Structure 1
C-alpha cells in the first residue's frame, strides 16, 4: 500500500444498525486530487473522519502516508493537514497571531513561522487584515484564514472538506490556484465539495458516494461519458417546428431544443442544415456536464 499517499481496502463504518460507509476502496497517488462527491449523508464526512483518525473504522483498513489509521494514528497526524467545514481558530487573536501560533505549535522556529505566516496571508489576500482580531472577519475571510492555517506546515496529504463554501467567485478562484499549487508541489489531496464545477476543474479522479457506498468512480470525463453522448442545443423562437423536424427534446421556457450528436461537428452541421430556413438564435455542441452526471449516478 505504500506506493499510494492514501489507500483503503473495503473500508467501512457501522453505527448501530446503519452502515454509514461500506466497502470503500480508494487509491490516491502523490501529486493528484481525489474528489469525493455525494449528497448529504452519502458517507463523505465519515470517510474523511476515518482517514484523519477522528473516527475508527469498523471494517476494512486504510493507510495514509504509509501508516495504518487504526494502528498508528499519531504517525498519520504527523503527515496530514486538514481543513474542515468549521473554522478552528481563536477569535481573540489576530489573523497573523493565529497563523504564528499554529506554526510554533507545530515546531517551526519563530523566524520560519513568521515567514510562512506572511507568505500565506499574502497568498490568501489577507495581508491588509492580518492585524485585525478574527472576530471582526467576514465569513469568507474566516474561511480563507482557516484554509491558510491548515497549510502553515507543508504536509504530504491534505484533506479539504468543502474548502470554498461561503467564498465569492474571486476568492474561490484564488483558492483553486492555491490547491493547484499544492498538487504541483507533490501533495495528495482529498477534496469534498458541493460545487461540481470545482470537482470538474480540480479532481484527477472522482468517487461518487450514495448511501455509504461507491456508486461510480473515474475521471470527470469518464463520468460524463457514462451519462450520454454529446448533444447539440439550439435556441430559437420556432422551437416547436425545430423539435418536430429533429425529433428533439424541448425546453419551452428556454425556447431550446436538444438532440444527441454522437458524431460531434458533423451532426452539428447536419442539424443546422435541417433548420436552414429558421432563424436560429444560438447553437452549441456540448458534452454532458458533471452536474448531469452526478444527478444521474446518484
Structure 2
C-alpha cells in the first residue's frame, strides 16, 4: 500500500529528464524544458528518462551509450526529432516508470576500459602508488600550481559531448589542479545549431542558470526583459575578455537584446588559469553560432 502511494506521489512530480542534444535542435529542447511538467536534471544519475533530441552523429554514439548507462533503473529513452509536442508522451512515460514499468538494459559492457594487470609496459600501472592508467583512467600526478607554486595533483580528462554546462557536441580536454584549469584543448566543436539557438534570450538564460538564477533564466528564455544586476555583479570584471568585451559585457548585451560578438574565441588560451565555474561562464558567454567555429586542436583536426 505504501509503495503504491509513493509511486502515485512520484508520478505527480515533474518528469526527471536528462537531455542529449544533437545538431539543429538545441533551441527546441530549451523551449520544451521550460514546461513545469519536466525537470531537466544536471546529471544522468538524477534522471529516469534520457531525452535524445535530434540525430546524434556516429562519432558521439559511444558517448551517448555511456550517458544512457548512468541513468538508474527503471529508465527509458525518449527520442524526439523536434516536431510535435512530446510533453504528453514524456508525462505518460514518467508515470509508467514511477509505477515500476519496464527498464532498458545497459548498452555498454560493465567492465573497465583496460584490465588491471599491475605494473607493466601497457600503461596499466606506475611505480608504487604513483603514475600509470589503472583501469584505463590516468592517475593524477603532482605538478606546480600555476598560481602559487604549490605542488598539487594535476588530472587530465575529456569532457563532452553531452555535459550539461557545455554546448552540445563540444568536447574539451582539460588538465585541472583542484578546480583550476591548467590547460585546455578543443577536441570537437559544438554541433551546428539553428539561428534561434543564438538568440539573445536563450544565450542570456544559459548564463543566468550558471550563476544560480534559474527562475530569472526561465523568465528571460520566455521573452521577459530583465536587468539582472545581481547576475552581472556575480561575474568578475574582465573575465574572458575577447575582442574588446568580457563575459559580463556579453551578458549585459544579451539582456539588452543584442546579438553579441561573432569572432570565434581561442578557448585554449582563454580558459587556462580560470577556476572551473569561471571557465563555464566564459564558454557560455559566446553564442552557439560563434562557438561552432572554435578552433580544434591539431591532433584531432
Please indicate the TM-score interval, normalised by the length of the shorter structure: under 0.3
TM normalised by structure 2 equals 0.26
TM normalised by structure 1 equals 0.26
Considering only CA atoms, is the larger Rg found in Structure 1 or Structure 2? Answer: 1
Greater fraction of residues in strand:
1
